[in-house]
Amino acid sequence: MGYKRVIMGVQKTALYDLHKSLGAKFVPFAGYEMPIQYKDGIVKEHISTRTHAGFFDVSHMGQFFLEGDETLVEALEKIIPSDLKSLKVNHSKYSFLLNDDGGIIDDLIVTKTKKGFCIILNAACKENDIKHISKFLDKNHKYLLNNDLSLIALQGPKSVEILEKLIPGVSQLKFMTGNNFSYDSESLYITRSGYTGEDGFEISISNKKVKNLIDLLMKNRVKPIGLGARDTLRLEAGLCLYGHDLNEKINPVEANLKWAIAKKRKEVGGFNGWSKIKNLLTNGSEKIRVGIKPEGKVIARENTKIFSSNGEEIGFVTSGTFGPSVNGPVAMGYVKSKFSEIGTSVQLEVRGKKYEGKVSELPFYKKSYVK
Amino acid sequence: MSEKKFSKKHEWVSLDGDIATVGITKHATEMLGDIVFVEVPDAGKSIEKEGQAAVVESTKAASDVYSPISGEVTEGNKAIADDPGSVNGDPEGASWFFKLKIKDKGELDSLMSKEEYDKFCKENPN
Instruction: Please write the tens of the pLDDT for every residue from A293-329.
Output: 999 999 999 999 999 999 999 999 999 999 999 999 9
Q: Which chain A residues are Cβ-neighbours of B84 within 8 angstroms?
A: 297
Q: Decide: B34 and B121 in contact? Cβ < 8 Å.
A: no
Q: How far is A49 from chain B (nearest CA, A)?
A: 16
Torsion angle (degrees, nearest 10) of CA A354, A356, A360, A365: -100
Q: Is B84 on the interface with A (CB under 8 A)?
A: yes
- Per-residue pLDDT, A77: 98
Rounded to 5 degrees, what are φ and ψ at B80? -80, -25
State whether A299 and B57 contact (CB < 8 Å).
yes
Report the gap between the CA of B17 and the closest CA in chain A (Å). 31
CATH of domain B5-123: 2.40.50.100
The answer to whether the beta carbons of residues A315 and A344 sit under 8 Å apart is no
Q: Virtual CA dihedral for A11, A14, A16, A19, nearest 10 degrees?
A: -150
pLDDT at position A370, please? 55
**How many other CB atoms are there within 10 angstroms of residue A353's CB atom?**
10
The predicted pLDDT at position B124 comes to 86
Find out whether A112 and A84 touch, Cβ atoms under 8 Å: yes
Cβ–Cβ under 8 Å, residues B30 and B48: no
Low-confidence ranges of chain A (pLDDT < 70): 1-8, 367-371
Give yes or no for B10 touching A (CB within 8 A). Answer: yes
Give Cα A337 distance to the centre of its chain: 24
Residue from B2, B42, B37 nearest A348 by CA = B37
The full set of domain ranges for chain A reads 1-237+245-283, 286-360
CA A150/CA A212 separation, integer angstroms = 12
Asked if the peptide bond before residue B125 counts as cis, ω within 30 degrees of 0, the response is: no
B89 touches chain A (CB under 8 A): no
Residues of B in contact with A34 (CB under 8 A): none
List CB contacts (< 8 A) between B28 and chain A: 1
Using an 8 Å CB-CB cutoff, list chain B residues near A324: 34, 59
Which sequence spans correspond to the domains of chain B?
5-123
Q: What is the pLDDT of residue A285?
A: 97
Q: Which chain B residues are closer than 8 Å to A5 by Cβ?
A: 126
Provide mean pLDDT across the span B63-75. 96
pLDDT for the residue numbered A6: 42
Q: Choose the closest CB to B126 out of A3, A321, A322.
A: A3
**Least CB-CB distance to A1: which of B10, B37, B55?**
B10
DSSP class of residue A324 equals T
Yes or no: say if A221 and A49 are a contact pair by the CB < 8 Å rule. no
Q: Both ends of chain B: CA-CA distance in Å? A: 30
Q: Would you identify the CATH topology of the domain A286-360?
A: Elongation Factor Tu (Ef-tu); domain 3 (2.40.30)
Between CA A23 and CA A18 the distance in angstroms is 9
pLDDT of residue A78: 97
Find out if CATH 3.40.710.10 is the number for domain A1-237+245-283.
no
Q: Which residues pair with A92 in a beta bridge?
A: A111
Residue A198 CA from chain centroid, whole number: 13
Total CB pairs under 8 A between chain A and B: 51
Q: What pLDDT shows up at residue B125? A: 77
> Half-sphere exposure of B52 toward its Cβ, with a 13 Å CA cutoff?
7
Query: Which of the residues B36, B52, B65, B80 would you substitute to probe the A interface, choosing the one with the greatest number of A C-beta atoms within 10 Å?
Result: B36
Per-residue pLDDT at A4: 36
User: Which of helix, strand or coil describes residue A35?
Assistant: strand
Chosen from A4, A25, A235, A322 to mutate, greatest number of chain B CBs within 10 A: A322
pLDDT digits (tens, 9 = 90+) for B21-57: 999 999 999 999 999 999 999 999 999 999 999 999 9
